[in-house]
Amino acid sequence: MMEFSADDHRFMAQAIRLARRGLYGTDPNPRVGCVLVREGRVVGEGWHQKAGGPHAEIHALDDAGISHARGATAYISLEPCSHHGRTPPCSEALIRAGVARVVAAMEDPNPQVAGRGLAQLAEAGIEVASGLMADAARALNPGYIKRMQCGRPWVRSKLAMSLDGRTALASGESKWITGAAAREDVHRLRARSSVILTGVGTVLADDPSLSVRLPDMPEDQRQPWRVVLDTHLSMPPTAKMLALPGRTLVMTCCEEEGLAEPLRRAGAEVILMPSCNGAVDPAAVLDYLGQQEANEVMLEMGATLSGSFLRQGLVDEICIYMAAVLMGHEARPLFHLPGIDSMEKKLALDITDIRRVGEDWRISARPVKAA
Q: Which residues have a catalytic role annotated?
A: 57
List phi, psi (to 5°) of 229.
-90, 115
SS3 content of the chain, % helix, strand, coil (to 5): 30, 25, 45
Q: Please answer whether residues 252 and 273 qualify as being in contact, where contact means their C-beta atoms are separated by less than 8 angstroms.
A: yes
Q: Are residues 305 and 158 in contact, defined by beta-carbon separation less than 8 angstroms? A: no
**Are the CB atoms for 275 and 253 separated by under 8 Å?**
yes
* Amino acid in position 246: G
Nearest-5° angle of CA 297, CA 108, CA 126? 155
How many angstroms separate the CA atoms of 20 and 18, rounded? Answer: 5
Residue 354: other Cβ atoms inside 10 A: 12
CA gap 190, 212 in Å, rounded? 6
Rounded Cα gap, residues 43 and 234, in angstroms: 58
Residue type, 230: D
Amino acid present at 88: P
Closest CA relative to residue 193, chosen from 136, 154, 243? 154
Residues 6+ apart with CB under 8 A from 16: 33, 77, 105, 133, 136, 137, 140
| Residue 9 identity | H
d(CA 277, CA 256): 19
Amino acid at 212: V
